[in-house]
Amino acid sequence: MIGLEGKSLFSSRLFYRLLSGEDKEALAEILSEPEVTEPAGFRVAKTREEFDEFFTGLTAYNTALGIYLRDTLIGYVHVNKEISDDPALKDKPCVSVGFVIGMPWHRQGFGAEMLETVTDYLLTRFAACYADCFPENEASRKTIEKCGYRYVEDYSFFFPGLGEEKTCHSYVRLAESK
Task: Convert the pLDDT of each residue in 9-45 to its tens digit.
Answer: 999 999 999 999 999 999 999 999 999 999 999 999 9
pLDDT for the residue 134: 98
The Cβ-side half-sphere exposure at 68, using a 13 Å CA radius, reads: 18
Which conformational region is residue 125 in: left (phi greater than 0), alpha (psi within -120 to 50 degrees), or beta? alpha
Q: What whole-number distance in Å separates Cα of residue 57 and Cα of residue 24?
A: 12
pLDDT for the residue 176: 79
SS3 content of the chain, % helix, strand, coil (to 5): 30, 35, 35
Instruction: Kindly indicate the confidence band of residue 178, based on its pLDDT and cuts at 50, 70 and 90.
Output: very low
Write out pLDDT tens, residues 63-122. Answer: 999 999 999 999 999 999 999 999 999 999 999 999 999 999 999 999 999 999 999 999
pLDDT for the residue 1: 84
- Nearest of 84, 118, 83 to residue 100 by alpha carbon: 118
Instruction: Kindly indicate the confidence band of residue 46, based on its pLDDT and cuts at 50, 70 and 90.
Output: very high
Read off the pTM: 0.96
pLDDT for the residue 156: 97
Write out pLDDT tens, residues 139-171. Answer: 999 999 999 999 999 999 999 999 999 999 999
